[in-house]
Structure 1
């Protein structure tokens, strides 16, 4: 009996062991789902993610790095649970995944920045290799996320991203995959999750049709591939759980359309099937159940296209995959169109029904194009074929994918250019480096000669070289002085530097005075912080309150903004611009001293603090003051000045609640007479940024007008311009408020503190101004002068309403008082009668 029990136990052990081996084999066939920075397992979207330090996970780390955790995350993602941990690496870190079979794998890196002790995620930068293939170079996660948000903001999509996924298709020829993370010197890197999914069926086929040419073999099985874009055209977003074969995310296409209304969305609930049974893993059927077709196909001149525009890396090969399924027509030759990639025809007389062999049958077509070193845009266009009749001019697209192909073992964007902007090969690069070295040598020689002359002159004049005491990057203040004034003084004779600086920069403070005013830069007196450094509240010996901006010389961005502010403030004087009182440039310090604005920022009086809410009149006066300041900037000089960072935190209020514009670190001089705009890199604050400026990188005064329009809506609604915690259609204030304004129902979203205390007509006119300010095209927006005029009219309406209401209240009070007096007299008479009557009875 005992022996029988032992045999059964042994048999059971063998079965358990066999089951574990089978389960392990199945797990390996599914790849790896890694929760970085964790030692436990988490179930997300129906899949088990294993911690990178969990036992027996077939994952080896070359070093432990640093584990980072957070309890809360911004935004809402299906991966939020695994995004709450991260592996941080200040030094090189390798992940080795064992037991991987030969074949192709989809590798995804998940990034979701959150605050990490002792590390600023905004300063992270790192390079990533996968089995020797460089897939990312000096990668900046927050920068990529911010750029993605700008793309959303410039379109009609109301979305804000807080995380990022980088996806690659990689060939694995050995039994393991090694991923190397290498932080840039002096920086660090992090990763939240790694996903490795095997591609069971052939995902790419050859040959591929080349744009404007013949079919070509691209050796796709031996090249690394990066997924740049994957879109469900005409449909809603598809999450990984809805694509069970490869767990892909399919975004919507609206934000990439050049003209949003060029295509309309259609859907078909009929059963969709694959034209080829081998295509089941190419895309889920959900992609083919929705599509976008051309609008207004009945017009006489059919020369319009549906166009999508994508930013890509220059000097790489790209594979463009288009997904089609005819959802309407049940016969051939009823929908015929052309397909263009970067203005090259890749398919003419394209008939989906004919290619697929019927209606509701899913197919895809792959096309290849090379983007030159001078370009960074890929255009996809579908349009009518003029050779066919009127009944066949429509076009249709269900899905779109763009893949970047590796080049010489590299997928990262590493470009070098010669003086004409063309890419340079290694042999030419050596020649250029020799030329550069010779040029540098010449420059150094000239620099030494100039320095010798300067030192000699200083020595002969008996003036020490004080510039050596300053940190690298600082410029002496006299370089910012108005040149015409300096020249005039030189022509008149001797030049007093301190007098010249003070004439434009105000009083020169000693560092001792600044330290005394701020109690040696006491943290308790800090009232603001930015890329330049901190702002402190200070008090001079005579009791005058001041604001002291102390620059951080280690911040390159802060230095540039600080210098811009110096240049701008030396030219600007206006009641509604914060005034510069003076400066201090002793002992390697660069400090500017401003008038103190007792009531802080306009935003602090709208929401997010315990300060009493502003009345409607106070809000109007604040907007008028800011508008006057901006109007002066735009018109007060020959070319004008564009502020470029208009927002409620840059509108300050003094002790009398007079509004003044501040922070001119991003300001730019306006275009000259012969130009309509200034071409410059996009800068500003997310939520306030002009979408036209972002799209074209062309800055105008109307960019400030757009930002000011957002401020006007913020003043009405008293909420943040971007709030990810709200429902999707309310996240972006400008878009949300604009919808209510167009319905003339702005009173439904007004700050509750204002209800019943404003003139309805003034609110109506105020909303109309805000609506005009945030018009999509700058030419349709008013000037700041026009905005100012209308705001003053709105204030007049409100004051007239207030006077009328006060008169009515006074009249009502007077009537009530008269009635009360009359009642009192009647009561006295009645009481007298009663008392006489009582006396008679007593008698």
Structure 2
């Protein structure tokens, strides 16, 4: 009897082993791990990589130069794989037999040193069975952009291996990877791997963002995808050997808009999949950790966990979110919304309900289309306002973003460089333009010389009469005509002035003189290159600010005209409003609402006014940011202020901040342009160095200036002070040195000592630091700055509330300065 049982057990084991052998053999037939430029096999992290020169590699290579670098920088574990490469100056083909089906194809690049080839300068394209993967691709440029996930090759933080991953459906038995160098350039490849995946890895129908519940077909049988990001949210990095498909899962913290917006949670309990076909979708390690919202009670349902990613415009993106409820064991305990690029992807989302229990992992796919104007993709999770108090939370375990091909193309051409042919073509165009321009200049020069001489003679004849007459001009008439031509203002009345429909009231000169006591200098509240600003009181008792241009000076004339045009079409609570104007007797006068508390700068230093509390300073920053955000986004092209500074931030009687002085403002670039080319103007100390170098104006120039304003507010000192030691003269440079050391509190305004939340100052400094990034593309938008500032205010208010609960007298002391300010101004 025992012998019969033993024989049955052995037979069963034989069947199981045989089945596993054949399944493994089938998988290995479609699996490739190729070490390019090598003739032998190497083992890296338990995997055997076959050299592309080895006789058993089951691939065909057409050309290329074998390269080797013995001085590998990084973890010695990877040295056998990344010390070799294949360099190509002509088209290189890798042909893989037996690669039919769905597979992840990964291409490994590490710019090693070899002879006279500088791999950082390579430029090439890659095509897989007719699908273009990259075009004019430069590895070094992509590493600097960090747009795809990177794997460190070792302890040296400056050494990276770039891994490009693609999902392909190969409908024939052969996969051909074609590497094509640009003319006059070359390319290289270190390693190639092909990992087959189950058919259920991606379903064909997914939820379309903004589609009101509609589904969209991916049609993956005829198109490929590129893995843009794969992140283990709230957990540590997952290495390839920890994933059955040898995928790498990076950290999410570097992509969070606010790193502390979500706290990391984990559960050591046994995690399972909600369905059997999800085992290959993600390893269980992804579902064992998560990130949930922080301080949900304090933030009153207005706060989201946000991740921001750089993507290529004009492509469709598959966003895969991984969930596993780790804390709650019943429904309605965690209900939230999912937003993708500011559109609701899902609401009333309950992970427990979706999975049917606790500790059960599952994923949800969404499809989004990125427009040509956008190169970022936002993913936000936040509380559903319809949920109860117990459900104001959100959770995410993992995140993947895939770019779908468009018309047989996955490539996005980056401006890494130009080929010689392109440069030669551009040179020919330039020289052709120069030759054609010389003839035109000669003709126009003669014509202009004639006009100049004629005008000069006429001017000299009338010079005596001009000296005897009242000096001045009629610029408002010109401005009215120009603005009307643009369709910005209403029609003119019979006196040549504009109607009051859009611009406001037309004042007589007598009314202006009566309001200012005939322009009494004792009422001057400001002076600029254009002239003086007077405090005036109209007959009905309304206080106004009256800006009178100086007709004897041409300085500020253009700025004055610009301000008329801008203010005629701008209306916002945080922008100073123009009430009307006067253009009688060659005068050029604008009338504004009166700002009782003057400039922000006057409340920071240089006067006897009581200092603003930290809360009031934050509120002022938020108000100014709202005004600038409106300028940048309120019209199709947006408006760039170009002179953001504390003297152009005015405070009304309630200390509401409003942006003022739009004389230097510029309409933003058209859709097909990235910047406005213009002469450099602005205020020294606030000027964006990138704008100064390139004379290319963007809204990010305002962001830089606003960052200087933020440091000026927290430090309460002038942006340029030559009387200080050399390293302290420039506020932006000085404050940035302390901020990078995370020691901004060392140089904070002494008037604030002990009256602020340290965490809020820390966050405030981080915002200012981001605004002062060297490159405009690395700076946040004003909308993002505004969002962060509101969060900082919430942190400070929570701190004030906590302190008032512990000690009412301390609370009274914290708000004492604010009361003094209000009493002094009243």
Q: Normalising by structure 1, report the TM-score.
A: 0.50
Aligned residues: 468
Match of 1:41 in 2: 41
In 2, the alpha carbon distance for the partners of 1:703 and 1:33 equals 53
Query: In structure 1, the residue corresponding to 2:105 is in which secondary structure?
Result: strand
Are the equivalent residues in 1 in contact too, given 2:35–2:49 (CA < 8 A)? yes
Partner secondary structure for residue 260 of structure 2: helix
Cα distance, 1:85 vs structure 2: 0.4
In 2 relative to 1, CA 145–385 (structure 1 residues): closer, same or farther, beyond 3 Å? same
SS at match of 1:202: helix
Secondary structure of 1:142's match? helix
SS of the residue corresponding to residue 104 of structure 1 reads strand
Residue 449 of structure 1: aligned partner: 439
The alpha carbon displacement at 1:73 in A equals 2.3
Does the 8 Å CA contact 2:296/2:392 hold for their aligned counterparts? yes
**Residue 125 (structure 1) aligned to one of 99, 123, 126:** 123
Give the Å deviation of 1:441. Answer: 11
CA displacement at 1:446 relative to structure 2:
2.2
1:155-194 superposed matches below 5 A: 160-194=158-192
Question: Secondary structure of 2:177's match?
Answer: strand
1:72 CA displacement: 2.3
> CA shift at 1:161, angstroms?
4.8
Alpha-carbon distance in 1 for matches of 2:125, 2:692? 25
Cα distance in 2 between the residues matched to 1:386 and 1:736: 36
Q: Deviations over 1:392-426 (max 9, x none)?
A: 0110000000000000000001599xxxxxxxxxx
Q: Is the 8 A contact 1:59 1:95 kept in 2?
A: yes
Q: Distance in 2 between matches of 1:128 and 1:255?
A: 29
Deviation at 1:228, TM superposition (A): 0.2
State the Cα distance separating 1:778 from its structure 2 match: 3.9
Q: Is the CA contact (8 Å cut-off) linking 1:682 and 1:693 kept in structure 2?
A: no
- Taking the TM superposition and a 5 Å limit, the aligned residue runs for 1:749-760 are none
CA displacement, residues 146-170 of structure 1 (integer Å, 9 cap, x when unaligned): 2229999xxxx99545210000001
3-state SS in 1 of match to 2:114: coil
Displacement after TM superposition at 1:676 (Å): 4.2
Aligned to 1:113: 111
Residues 342-383 of structure 1 deviation map (CA, whole Å, 9 limit, x = unaligned): 011011000000000000000100000000111100000000
The alpha-carbon distance between structure 1 residues 695 and 298, as it changes in their structure 2 partners (threshold 3 A), is farther
Structure 1: 5+ residue stretches without partners: 1-17, 417-435, 457-638, 640-667, 685-691, 706-714, 716-733, 745-770, 783-843
CA apart distance, 1:683:
11
> Which residue matches 1:29?
29
Shift of 1:222: 2.0
Alignment match, 2:223: 223
Change (3 A) 1:697 1:174: farther
Contact 2:73 2:159 in 1 (8 A): no
Summarize deviations over 1:246-276 as a string: whole Å, max 9, x none: 1100000000000111100001000000000
Q: How far apart, CA to CA, are the structure 2 residues paired with 1:26 and 1:735? A: 60
Does structure 2 conserve the Cα–Cα contact (< 8 Å) formed by 1:97 and 1:177?
Answer: yes
Distance 2:90 2:387 in 1: 62
SS in 1 for 2:338: strand
Listed one character per residue, the Cα deviations across residues 505-539 of structure 1 (whole Å, up to 9, x for unaligned) are: xxxxxxxxxxxxxxxxxxxxxxxxxxxxxxxxxxx
SS of the equivalent of 1:281 reads coil
TM-superposed CA distance for 1:301, in Å, is: 1.9
Shift of 1:27: 6.3
The answer (yes or no) to whether the contact 2:109–2:162 under 8 Å persists in 1 is yes
Task: Determine if the alignment matches structure 1 residue 319 to structure 2 residue 318.
Answer: yes
Unaligned runs of 5+ in 2: 1-17, 416-425, 447-642, 644-677, 713-726, 728-736, 747-760, 773-826
1:801-816 equivalent positions in 2, closer than 5 A: none
Q: Does the CA-based 8 Å contact 2:148-2:228 persist in structure 1?
A: no
Contact 1:239 1:250 in 2 (8 A): yes
Say if 2:225 is the partner of 1:235.
no
The answer to whether the 8 Å contact 2:739/2:765 transfers is: no
Aligned to 1:827: none
Determine if contact 2:687/2:701 at 8 Å carries over to the other structure: no
8 Å contact kept, 2:339–2:380: yes
Alignment partners' CA distance in 2, 1:195 and 1:683: 45
Counterpart-to-counterpart distance in 2, 1:188 and 1:360: 50
C-alpha separation in 1, matches of 2:148 and 2:206: 33
- 1:303-382 aligned within 5 A: 303-382=302-381
Whether the aligned pair in 1 keeps the contact of 2:137 and 2:413 (CA below 8 Å) is: no
What displacement does 1:131 show? 0.5
Change (3 A) 1:738 1:675: closer
User: Helix, strand or coil for the counterpart of 2:221?
Assistant: helix
Where 1:29 maps in the other structure, the secondary structure is: helix
Deviation at 1:81, TM superposition (A): 2.3
Query: TM-score normalized by structure 2?
Result: 0.51
Q: 1: CA distance between counterparts of 2:738 and 2:398?
A: 27
In 2, the alpha carbon distance for the partners of 1:362 and 1:735 equals 44
Tell me the CA shift for residue 776 of structure 1: 3.4
CA contact (8 A) 2:744 2:765 kept: no
Instruction: State the alpha-carbon separation in 1 of the partners of residues 120 and 327 from structure 2.
Output: 49
Counterpart CA distance in 1 for 2:227 and 2:770 is 38
The answer to whether residue 285 in structure 2 is matched with residue 286 in structure 1 is yes
- C-alpha distance in 2 between matches for 1:675 and 1:735: 18
* CA distance in 1: counterparts of 2:262 and 2:137, whole angstroms: 35
Taking the aligned partners of 1:694 and 1:240, their CA distance within structure 2 comes to 42
Quick one: distance in 2 between partners of 1:90 and 1:50?
A: 23
Q: Distance in 1 between matches of 2:23 and 2:277?
A: 27
Contact 2:136 2:414 in 1 (8 A): no
Q: Distance in 2 between matches of 1:694 and 1:144?
A: 25
Does the 8 A contact of 2:149 with 2:229 survive in 1? no
Q: Is contact 2:233-2:290 (8 Å) kept?
A: yes
Change in CA separation of 1:779 and 1:321 when aligned onto 2, cut-off 3 Å: closer
Residues 105, 193 of structure 2: 8 Å contact kept: yes
CA distance, structure 2, for counterparts of residue 366 and residue 271 of structure 1: 25
Map of 1:55 onto structure 2: 55
Is the alpha carbon distance of 1:413 and 1:24 closer, same or farther for their aligned partners in structure 2, counting shifts above 3 Å? same
SS at match of 2:117: coil
The alpha-carbon deviation at position 110 of structure 1 amounts to: 0.3
Aligned residue for 1:776, secondary structure, equals helix
Spell out, residue by residue over 1:786-819, the C-alpha distance to the aligned partner (whole angstroms, 9 max, x if none). xxxxxxxxxxxxxxxxxxxxxxxxxxxxxxxxxx
Deviates most, 393-402 or 76-85: 76-85
Secondary structure of 2:78's aligned partner: coil
Structure 1: distance between partners of 2:403 and 2:771 = 40
SS of residue matched to 1:122: helix
CA distance in 1, matches of 2:691, 2:35: 37
Tell me, in whole angstroms, the C-alpha distance in 1 between the residues paired with 2:39 and 2:738. Answer: 43
Distance change in 2, residues 1:447/1:114 (3 Å): same
Q: Secondary structure at 2:766's aligned position in 1?
A: coil
Contact 1:150–1:694 (Cα < 8 Å) also in 2: no
Counterpart of 2:286 in 1: which secondary structure?
A: helix
Instruction: Indicate the residue corresponding to 1:81 in structure 2.
Output: 80
- CA contact under 8 A between 1:149 and 1:161: conserved in structure 2? no
What is the distance in 2 between the residues matched to 1:248 and 1:78? 17
Using the alignment, how far apart are the partners of 1:695 and 1:237 within structure 2?
Answer: 37
Q: How many Å separate the matches in 2 of 1:173 and 1:780? A: 48
Contact 2:108 2:162 in 1 (8 A): yes
> Contact 2:148/2:164 (CA < 8 Å) preserved in 1?
no
User: What does residue 501 of structure 2 align with?
Assistant: none
Residue 27 of structure 2 contacts residue 196 of structure 2 at CA under 8 Å; is this kept in 1? no
Structure 1 residue 208 corresponds to structure 2 residue 210: no
Q: CA RMSD in A?
A: 4.6
Alignment check: 8 A CA contact 1:58 1:97 kept: yes
Query: Does structure 2 conserve the Cα–Cα contact (< 8 Å) formed by 1:693 and 1:703?
Result: no
Q: CA deviation at 1:80?
A: 3.3
Residues 69-97 of structure 1, C-alpha deviations (whole Å, 9 max, x = no match): 11122233853320000100111111111
1:252–1:78 CA distance, 2 compared to 1 (3 A):
farther
CA contact (8 A) 2:337 2:381 kept: yes
